[in-house]
């Protein structure tokens, strides 16, 4: 199961988040602590998206190689600062291709998206759900993977103007109904807020309040990346809505579950 992370707060280098902490995504790519549902390492690619500032859309870097083997990314991460980052390391589900386009983040416009988990019974279980998407969306999926389809389903709701949290909740609800046992930890940001679901996999959140001249921050992760205090586990089957300095939880059974 992949591991992912989203951060909003004072500008930091990508390496501050992704490679330097004691249990950073870099370490989680070869020594994750919680791989329920299969896999031992996250070596089937990785990706990072970050907002360069001044309202510009996110920049994305994706690879089909393990994060530890990409020295170009290590150099880039040390020299790139951002106030909003979403990144993931991938463990491909059996039968799904190891290609850079299958690595998160998936993106359109200001959005960055990641999925940690698996859709059970793929692809037959979700054929009916997929059929409600425009055929052009299905023909242009980033990759033939469950995660790419989940992004197309979420994106379809965002394009329709749905609240982002409701878009995630409704997507989890429709997939869980046709593919029971799926693990559906979804992660979404627009650079200003983070929305995330915990559905049968681990998720934690840490808020740092504003202190002195330092602005507030929030980080949402599959696994805490350091041993400092403040990480709070997100209860299973909950939706997180977070902005720097605070977050809110809703039970997923009560959010978005009834609407399309
Ligand atoms: N099932 C997805 C894929 O193979 C997500 C990966 C994961 O969480 N292990 O791309």
Task: Output the pLDDT for position 38.
Answer: 61
Report d(CA 182, CA 184) in Å as an integer. 6
Q: Which of 29, 44, 46, 96 gets mutated to test ligand 1 (max ligand atoms within 8 A of its CB)?
A: 96
pLDDT (0 to 100) of residue 35: 60
Could you tell me how many helices (H) and strands (E) the chain has, helices first?
7, 13
Per-residue pLDDT tens for 123-162? 999 999 999 999 999 999 999 999 999 999 999 999 999 9
User: What CATH architecture is 3-116+183-251?
Assistant: 4-Layer Sandwich (3.60)
Cα–ligand 1 centroid distance for 117 (angstroms): 5
- Of 193 and 260, the one with more pLDDT: 193
pLDDT given at position 259: 44
CA of 86 to the centre of ligand 1 (A): 16
Ligand 1 site residues, Cβ closer than 6 angstroms: 1-2, 39, 90-93, 96, 102, 115-118, 145-147
pLDDT at residue 181 is higher than 80: yes
The CA distance from 255 to 253, in Å, is 6
The stretch 85-110 carries a mean pLDDT of 96
Per-residue pLDDT at 30 exceeds 80: no
Count the residues in the chain. Answer: 260
Q: What is the pLDDT of residue 22?
A: 86
Please write the tens of the pLDDT for every residue from 186-226: 999 999 999 999 999 999 999 999 999 889 999 999 999 99
Answer whether 0.80 is exceeded by the pTM.
yes
ipTM of model over 0.90: yes
Residues with a catalytic annotation lie at 2
Which of 251, 249, 243 shows the shortest CA–CA distance to 7?
A: 243
Where in the chain are the domains?
Answer: 3-116+183-251
**Per-residue tokens: 197:** 């679901």
User: Which residue, 107, 94, 101, is CA-closest to 144?
Assistant: 101
Question: In the predicted model, what is the mean pLDDT of the chain?
Answer: 93
Q: With bands split at pLDDT 50, 70 and 90, how would you rate the model's confidence at 51?
A: very high
């Amino acid at each position: 199961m992949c591991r992912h992370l989203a951060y909003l707060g004072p500008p930091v280098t990508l390496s501050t988040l992704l490679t330097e902490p004691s249990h950073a995504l870099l370490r989680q790519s070869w020594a994750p602590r919680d791989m329920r549902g299969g896999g031992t390492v996250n070596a089937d690619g990785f990706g990072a998206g970050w907002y360069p500032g001044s309202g510009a859309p996110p920049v994305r870097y994706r690879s089909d190689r393990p994060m530890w083997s990409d020295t170009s990314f290590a150099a880039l991460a040390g020299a790139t600062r951002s106030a909003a980052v979403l990144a993931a390391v991938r463990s491909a589900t059996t039968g799904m291709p190891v290609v850079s386009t299958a690595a998160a983040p998936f993106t359109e416009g200001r959005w960055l998206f990641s999925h940690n988990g698996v859709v059970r019974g793929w692809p037959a279980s979700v054929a009916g759900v997929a059929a409600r998407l425009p055929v052009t969306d299905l023909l242009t999926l980033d990759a033939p993977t469950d995660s790419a389809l989940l992004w197309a389903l979420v994106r379809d709701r965002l394009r329709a103007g749905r609240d982002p949290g409701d878009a995630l909740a409704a997507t989890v609800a429709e997939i869980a109904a046709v593919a029971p046992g799926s693990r559906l930890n979804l992660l979404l940001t627009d650079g200003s807020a983070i929305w995330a679901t915990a559905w049968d996999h681990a998720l934690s959140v840490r808020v740092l309040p504003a202190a002195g001249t330092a602005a507030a921050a929030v980080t949402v992760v599959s696994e805490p990346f350091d041993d400092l205090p403040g990480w709070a586990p997100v209860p299973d089957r909950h939706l997180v809505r977070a902005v720097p300095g605070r977050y809110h939880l809703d039970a997923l059974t009560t959010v978005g579950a009834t609407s399309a």
